[in-house]
Amino acid sequence: MHLFDFTLQLPITDPTWIFFLVLTIILFAPILLDRLHIPHIIGMILAGVAIGGYGFNILERDSSFELFGKVGLYYIMFLAGLEMDMADFKKNRKKAFVFGLITFSVPMILGIWSSLTLLNYSLITSVLLASMYASHTLIAYPIISRYGLSRLKSVNIAIGGTAITVTLALVILVIIAGLFNGVIDQLFWLLLIAKIALVCFVIIFFFPRIGRAFFRMYEDNVMQFVFVLAMVFLGGGILELVGLKGVLGAFLVGLVLNRLIPHVSPLMNHLEFVGNALFIPYFLIGVGMIVNLKSFFVGGDALKVAIVMTVVATCGKWLAAWFTQKIYKLSANDRRIMFGLSNAQAAATLAAVLIGHEIIMNNGERLLNDDVLNGTVMMILFTCVLSSFITERAARKITMNNDVHEKIGETKSEENILIPVSNPDTIVNLVNLALVVKDPRRKDGLIALNVMNDHHSSSTKQNQGKKYLEKSAMIAAAADVTMHTVSRYDLNIASGIIHTIKEYNVSDVVIGLHRKMNIVDSFFGATAENLVKGTHRQIMIAKCLMPINTLRRIVVAVPPKAEYEAGFTKWVAHVCRMGNQLGCRVHFFAHPQTLDRLDVLINKKFKGLRSEFTELADWDDLLLLTGQVNFDHLLVIVSARKGSISYDASFERLPAQLSKYFSNNSLLVVYPDQYGDPQDNISFSDPRGHNESLNYDKMGQWFYKWFKKN
């Protein structure tokens, strides 16, 4: 009896070893290719060529590669729609539509001409072959995502053009397939248009509403992740029912869920991580496994067909990008980005060649013969490699140019956002709020604080505080942001926060609105009031009745002369970042002079923001805003400290108005930065400033309990 009963047979069929080899390729291919400065995508495809049936026959392209490959393809299209800057896309939708028509028409014209004259194919074969050149797959999109350029104008144009050209190419495929099945008639056209319109209406109208309702009911990250995947494949499956490819459905689902999944959020990070770590590499390895290099060296026209197909497809896509660049006067790097994203052939091309290969014409020949099949695989390999190289180089140049501009520009003050945590029910919303207002380019700058009172400290309170800090750090880490946690003892919570602000150079504080326990409690609470008095830094007091990502609109009430405050630019930037991340429309209500300043500032720094401006006739009575704020809106009140330029006596009535008119709305009260020292400084040598108010509160609570008892 042998100690190890092991016999090696190729191809390997054991699922354990198949998965191990694939993970090994995914792990080591980027490590090896980084030394050669070759994009990771190429390594995955070449690895697939080597281990496939036409290479060393180590693995067979079985059902697992088909399953994970389809998931990976859906993932690429879904992420492309999810990460698109919708505000910028709407602004550039005409450019995207024009690019889509050009990148479809130019390869179609060149393809039909080359197939008729150089390859001597029939007209129908030439049209189907040309439609394969016209379509493309966003193979290089993970490179764009890795460099953080997914919101670039040229990227949005290329992605929007992809939807146009892939749709037109698949319509041609459906028509030619229907022609040989004998179903092309007037009823065919009516049914096709009706089915496409119905499916698009269902996805666009119902999916966002279902998603918003689900995210409000369930905040668990695992449940949200599984729900999003289910929606992606539901959209793809519905579109396949009408005869089109599911990749368009996945892309459409990404677009409609774009507003519900902020770019900087734990859910977004989970989606990108799983796709880039597993599904997309699986798809790329599967593409490489269908490449048969031997077919080009055994005679026949396979090599000639492959060269013609590759040259025509590449030239057609480059000309389309060049025409678009000249029409809209874009930069050379923008042209390279558009060409790199639109040159790779994979998804729709594979579908077209496989369907065309299965169609038998009247003379007994296949519509697309074996030479075209092998030539298509060669074209896929070449265009994917070229697309990856071009996109990688262009992305690197753009990133380096941006870094240069940042170095020669003005030095920006450091942004550190402090989040005091004491209530487990508000931790998730406070951290998510801080994530959407912070600078998205920074992967740090968040500080979670738990303050324990000297007089009421215990081991239980200590353990609770540690759990709150760990929960905050986990939420931030899930969004790929590093959070620094601080636990400290102090005289009271307000003084602990103020001392932490000084020690860690905090620029902003995000704190939850306290829960009013009895009639003597103030609206904001003693901690928030003492904090406003004790620091000149920006303070945001939040009450979130629903998850941040499900808000549909942000309504901002701005007092007169707010533009003269030191923190005016900062709070405007934070609100605009929030609007961009959530895809919300931001509606400003303010004095006409303040509106003019807001308009200039937003057009200068946040051009893509969907904003509205309305004159607020009377700041004294916020009842005027009740008709503008719905249950799924966020009301932002820009307040001011006593003695500041924009302070008004009406602010004294603000707590009563908020509790009376907006008790069922999500609120964010902002106290902007102000010049000079705080009005009531606190230090360890003189801590009395924040204890006097607490003594008055204790006296009021004693009278309240005495009257209640009697």
Domain containing residue 483: CATH number: 3.40.50.620
Tell whether 252 and 371 lie within a shared domain. Answer: yes
Residue 671 clears pLDDT 50, i.e. is over it: yes
Q: Structurally, how many domains does the chain consist of?
A: 3
Under 8 Å between Cβ of 118 and 319: no
Quote the CA–CA distance of 507 and 432 in Å, as a whole number.
18
pLDDT digits over 138-166, tens only? 778 778 877 777 778 888 888 888 878 87
Comparing 677 with 487, the larger pLDDT belongs to 487
Higher pLDDT among residues 595 and 268, named by residue: 595
Give the domain-ending residue among 534, 556, 576: 534
Q: Look at residue 171 and tell me whether its pLDDT is greater than 50.
A: yes
Please compute the mean of the pLDDT values over residues 470-497 and round it to a whole number: 85
Last residue within a domain, chosen from 338, 366, 401: 401
232, part of any domain: yes
Q: Is residue 708 part of a domain?
A: no
Lowest pLDDT segment from 128-137, 231-240, 419-428, 677-686: 677-686
Residues 249 and 145 in one domain: yes
CB environment 123-154: b (16+ within 10 A), e (fewer): eebbbbbbbbbbbbbbbbbbbbbebebbbbbb
Q: Which domain holds residue 384?
A: 63-401
Please list, in sequence order, all residues whose beta carbon lies within 8 angstroms of the beta carbon of residue 401, skipping any fewer than 6 positions away.
Answer: 333
Say if residue 611's pLDDT is above 80. yes
pLDDT of residue 695: 47
Backbone angles phi, psi at 518, to 5 degrees: -150, 180
The reply to whether 28 falls in a domain is no
Residue 169 lies in a domain: yes
> 317: domain CATH number?
1.20.1530.20
How do beta strands 417-420 and 446-453 pair? parallel
Domain annotation covers residue 30: no
> Are 167 and 186 within one domain?
yes
Domain identity same for 343 and 423: no
Q: Please answer whether residues 536 and 671 qualify as being in contact, where contact means their C-beta atoms are separated by less than 8 angstroms.
A: no
382 and 272 within one domain: yes
| Residue 316 pLDDT exceeds 50 | yes
The pLDDT assigned to 645 comes to 82
Q: Indicate if 385 and 426 belong to the same structural domain.
A: no
Is residue 421 a part of any domain in this protein?
yes
Of residues 439 and 85, more confidently modeled? 439
Examine the fold and report which residue of 534, 564, 593 is the final residue of a domain before the chain moves on: 534
Please name which of 590, 594, 654, 595 lies closest in space to residue 617, comparing C-alpha atoms.
Answer: 590
Tell me the pLDDT tens digit for each residue of 53-65: 878 888 888 777 8
